[in-house]
Amino acid sequence: MLPADTKGSNARSRRDVLRVSGLAILTAAGGLKIGRAFAEEAAPPQITIAIIGDANTGTWASLRASVTGRPLDAELGTKVIWQPGFTASLPVMEAVRAGGVDFTFATATAIVNAVGAGVPIVPLAAFPLPVDEVDLIVAANSPIKSAADLKGKKVAHQNGTTGTYSLIKFLESGGLRLPDVQAVSLSGADAFTAFAQGSVDAWIHWQPATALALAKLGEKARVLPGVKTYDYAFYVAHPKLAEKHTVAAAKLVRSIRDTQAYINAHPDETVALWASKGGFAPNSPEQSVYRQLIIDKRLSESPAAGLGPVDAAAAASTQDLADNFQALGVLPNKVDVRAFLLSPRFDQIKSIVAAELGA
């Protein structure tokens, strides 16, 4: 844990300066009235954060445990409500639409679907997913050696996710398209069962699912080389938080960034904490897998230590994903997600987030 009397006070002092700088930017762009509005902004009555999974591992588990020495409720000046149990970031978007969630992690696929469906979200920050976050695994004795060998084979993936996008790109490297394989949409747990039973020829998914699967399967499975992750991840908020309580939303983004930096720097302490929270049994094979994923920075949130405002690179990457999904029928219509992510209406909010992050 970081010493509160040294790093905590210095960090707060620096953030105060940055926040003033951000307000000055707003004043220059939109007048003194806008700057004062942010400076005098009241904290929201509460913030509901969506959690994918059970929150016993990952950034949220460490954030809830205040590993940086700054309890989130005190940092934000409001009550934080944690809403766990979501299976992926796509279902979270419906909760955002219904007004039950104020803030969430979201993959690029979730962003594209949300924009296409008119879900009210405000993009606050983004980061590229780890390039090696996704694995495509086959049986150890499988004749499949390359992307071209997947033609006509049954490949399990969770439709419309990062796994789907990585599969599309990998198939392209072998001169194939998604219709050239028998793509079977299954959740991570169901896909593992299908693969272990030999019902599918290959399975593509992200961490920690495939790393845990490989640990269980041992010499019965292997990873195909050349599979990469191409898309970005985002933190987004409902407009009622992002527009009315921008400073609180920016503080939350910065708290996530700082927590992930702690995780990356303290793998042993982190997995011990997650084990104590029930994420896995202490000193178990699962704990070893998570520890290595932290060291290798292969978990989805690992690059969030370098979290920054949404930029042109994030927008361009997400537009490419949207175009691919639309061309293959994964999305029913073309979505101009680039224009949405870079819309000038988010500029003031982006300035506050940038100031909080020191970006």
Residue 331: which pLDDT band, with cuts at 50, 70 and 90? Answer: confident
* Dist. CA 258–CA 260, nearest whole Å: 5
Higher pLDDT, 119 or 14: 119
Rounded to whole angstroms, the Cα distance separating 209 from 191 reads 10
- Per-domain residue ranges for the chain? 4-130+231-357, 134-223
Q: For residues 133 and 149, what is the distance between their CA atoms, to the nearest angstrom? A: 22
Query: In DSSP terms, which residues pair with 202 in a beta bridge?
Result: 138, 155
pLDDT, average across residues 279-285: 96
Q: What average pLDDT does this structure show over 199-211?
A: 97
The CATH-assigned architecture of domain 4-130+231-357 is 3-Layer(aba) Sandwich (3.40)
pLDDT bin (cut points 50, 70, 90) of residue 5 is very low
The pLDDT tens digits of the residues spanning 37-89 come to 455 578 899 999 999 888 899 999 999 999 999 899 999 999 999 998 887 78
pLDDT reported for residue 38: 52
**What is the model's pLDDT at position 263?**
98
Residue 69, SS3 per DSSP: coil
Give all strands (DSSP E) within 87-194, no chain letters.
Answer: 103-107, 122-128, 134-139, 154-157, 182-185
Cβ atoms of 22 and 239 closer than 8 Å = no
Question: Nearest-CA neighbor of 119 among 90, 145, 158?
Answer: 90
Spatial CB neighbours of 6, under 8 Å, sequence gap ≥ 6: none
Residue holding tokens 């640990």? Answer: 215
User: Which CATH number applies to 134-223?
Assistant: 3.40.190.10
Q: What is the pLDDT of residues 106-165, one digit of tens each?
A: 999 999 999 999 999 999 999 999 999 999 999 999 999 999 999 999 999 998 889 999
The residue ranking higher by pLDDT, 15 or 278, is 278
Pairing of strands 103-107, 221-223: unpaired
Q: Find the distance separating the first CA and the last CA of the chain, reported in whole Å.
A: 24
Q: How far apart are CA 348 and CA 354, in angstroms?
A: 10
Cβ(235)–Cβ(340) under 8 Å?
A: no
Same fold, 4-130+231-357 and 134-223: yes
CB 109 within 8 A of CB 160: yes
- Distance separating alpha carbons of residues 4 and 9, to the nearest angstrom: 7
C-alpha closest to that of 59 among 256, 285, 332? 256
pLDDT confidence tier of residue 336, bands split at 50, 70 and 90: very high
d(CA 256, CA 120): 22
Taking residue 35's Cβ as centre, other Cβ atoms within 10 Å add up to 20
Per-residue pLDDT, 330: 79
- Radius of gyration for the chain, computed over Cα atoms and rounded to the nearest angstrom: 21
The span from the CA of 68 to the CA of 62, in Å, is 9
